[in-house]
Chain A
Amino acid sequence: MEPALAWIVLGLPLLGAATLAAWPTEPPRSMTRVLGVGPIALGFLLSAWLYVQMLGESSDDRLVASRVWEWIEIGDLTIDVALQIDPLSVMMMLIITGVGSLIFLYSTEYMEHDRDYRRFFAEMGFFVFSMLLLVLAANFLFLIVGWALVGLASYLLIGFYYEKPPAVAAAKKAFIINVIGDIAMVIGAFILIVELGTLDYALVFEAAPDGLSRGAVEAVTILLFVGAAAKSAQVPLHTWLPDAMEGPTPVSALIHAATMVTAGVYLVVRTHELYELAPFASDLVAITGAVTLFLAATIAMVQVDVKRVLAWSTVSQIGYMIMAAGLGAYGAAMFHLMTHAFFKALLFLSIGIVIHGLAGEQSLDRMGGLGRHLKLAYVATAIGVLAISGVPGTSGFFSKDEILASAWDAGDLGRALWVVGALAAGITAFYMFRLLLRTFYGPEPGGGYGVHPHRSRWPMTVPVAVLAVLSLFGGWIQVPSGWSWITDWLEPVIGPESIPGQQAEGVTLVASIAVVAIGAGVAWWIFAADPGRRSRLAGRFAATRRLLEDGYRFDPVYQQALVQPSRDLGDYLYGRFEPDFIQGMLKGAVSLVRGGAIALRAAQDGLVRTYAFVMVAGVVSLGALLAWVVTR
């Protein structure tokens, strides 16, 4: 196995992004395309090569930390510049660069009309670099560095249309909420330094069982999970993700599918050795995931903006992964992470074709009947909807069922969360079929579309087709009671994992097919069977609809409880504290100096003989003092 490959994969996107950013003028578009897509695609090929090489190693030799040099040495603490190369990081590399390069290829066409073509690809490349650093880091310090850089990159990309105030506000919101997580992670790392004196993954995991008290390990894991929740948009730190839809659609696809939001799941799986020592924190993770997946699924039912429906569905699906990770089903969590990357990227890219075709229209109320005009987008979205709903045979079916089956086997808490997850699976089917039907089915909107929907060219259609195939068949690599390639592949990292029992599989299979059928059927009944029924129902449930449309009013509460007090404090500090107190202190210091100077100026009278006298007097009194001290 060649560790240098991982360094090259990590460096390529940064090199491409830096070259684009440093180019003195706006480079030709063809060159931007090559420098944008090339490094990621090449990175995918090299990652695949690394994967093949790793396949040839025995499972003990698959855990490699590639140390290059010692970066920091303070007392007993040493921090290396090192990459962790193991099945988990290779799997993340494959997902990031694989799905990433499809999204990049798609962007070359989607962003064709944008004047900031170069900036877009530079920032996207930087994003992929940050995410690769996050998953490849071999110690908590570099993990946090990658973590923070991902936050910065998301800030840049969400605020890509910086002339639009909502985009700027969304970018700031994402950044601030992510920084809350960063701070928690830094504190967690400090606890590790104090307790164990190291940040190296291998050393921390080795020393944790004996070196960490129960309280310390719970504190560290909860702090790390605050970071994971901020990045992965878990309740109560989820509010930034729907607003992040202000960025261009490929950015949403990248954030939601291949990078960023998966980081929290990755973190919990990566540090599972700590979570296994912290039952309370693990339960907290699982419950947070379950609460998130349910709330987000209900909110997604009523959103009118297509991208916001997808955003809330992402929050919900990440909730499934977090729940699985909290329950100790790491293989299932990573499996769902992978299939979700496929079908969520597919959904964003195919909905992106619609938005692109309608020149930026995102409201479901202005869509409908588009299936006649955009056949490929229709088919691709339908495949994505089938996969995310968990229709048997598609990728989402296998991964979601494995999560639910693992939950069924995970004690009383797991059984309770199974009920939540199964219910939400039905809701998922409902809102995804609603999206599909309201976009592509039924009559055209009153007043027609703003523009005539136009088809897309191959750079947009090919990635969609590839992702559609992956979404349909990507689940067959892990089949209950058949084979479990993902869990086997990850075994060197996550340890042997118990396979859900026959009963769990059976109950889950029946339940999930039933809830999906009910959810999809209700969606059909409301949105397709009778055109008038939707508005009649909307009238009857107006209050509930409003509550859900506002996302359970998290934002107004945060506005009241946190943002407004901060703003008031800022106003007070700016309006009163600064002019009165800070300026007052400065003015006081100035007048003190000035007064002292006026008093002392009298001493400098310009008479040389006075100076001589003062000097002699000083020498004499010093001598007297000395004599007194010596003789005493």
Chain B
Amino acid sequence: MSGVPLIWYLLLSFGLFGLGLLGVMRRRNPLLMLLAVELMLNSANIALVGFARHWDNTDGQIFALVVMAVAAAEVVIGLGLVVAVFRQRLALNVDEMSSLKG
């Protein structure tokens, strides 16, 4: 098997996943949190595609396609929520959206 070794894919994936995770946990703006989630999903895609190449098996690639579809759906809902919040003229700050607390 020629080309880039598997470890590089995994390192890239790991790095992107860590960035996404930090983003989700640190950011307060829901729009940016959605972006961070997208980052995590796509890092997973990179890992899947990398493994698919490594094992010469297309299952991983198909799985990546499914993840993309899920990510698109998630973005639709997430952006819909963000727009709804924006229409209410509320601050785009997740820490203040806590009316469902126990």
Contact = CB atoms under 8 A, between A and B. Distances in A.
Interface of A: 600-609, 612-613, 616
Top 3 A-B pairs ranked by shortest CB distance? A606-B98, A606-B101, A601-B102
B56 interface: no
Interface of B: 21, 24-26, 28, 33, 94-95, 97-102
B21 A616 contact: yes
B61 to A, nearest CB: 25
A601 B100 CA distance: 11
B74 to A, nearest CB: 15
Contacts of B102: 600-606
Contact of A609 (B95, B99, B100): B95
11 contacts: A604-B101, A605-B98, A605-B101, A606-B102, A607-B98, A607-B101, A609-B26, A609-B28, A609-B94, A609-B95, A616-B25
Contacts of A604: 100-102
A613 B33 CA distance: 13
Interface-central residue, A601, A602, A608, A616, by most chain B CB under 10 Å: A608
A96 B43 CA distance: 88
A10 to B, nearest CB: 66
A316 to B, nearest CB: 77
B99 A606 contact: yes
A609 B26 CA distance: 7
Nearest to A616: B21
B95 to A, nearest CB: 6
A44 to B, nearest CB: 77
Nearest to A598: B102
A608 B101 contact: no
A540 to B, nearest CB: 89
Given A603-B102, A605-B98, A607-B95, 14 more contacts: A601-B102, A604-B102, A605-B101, A605-B102, A606-B100, A606-B101, A606-B102, A608-B33, A609-B25, A609-B28, A609-B95, A612-B24, A612-B25, A616-B21
A608 B97 contact: yes
A608 B97 CA distance: 8
A616 B24 CA distance: 10
Contacts of A605: 98, 101-102
A323 to B, nearest CB: 78
A609 B25 CA distance: 5
A606 B100 CA distance: 6
Contacts of B26: 609
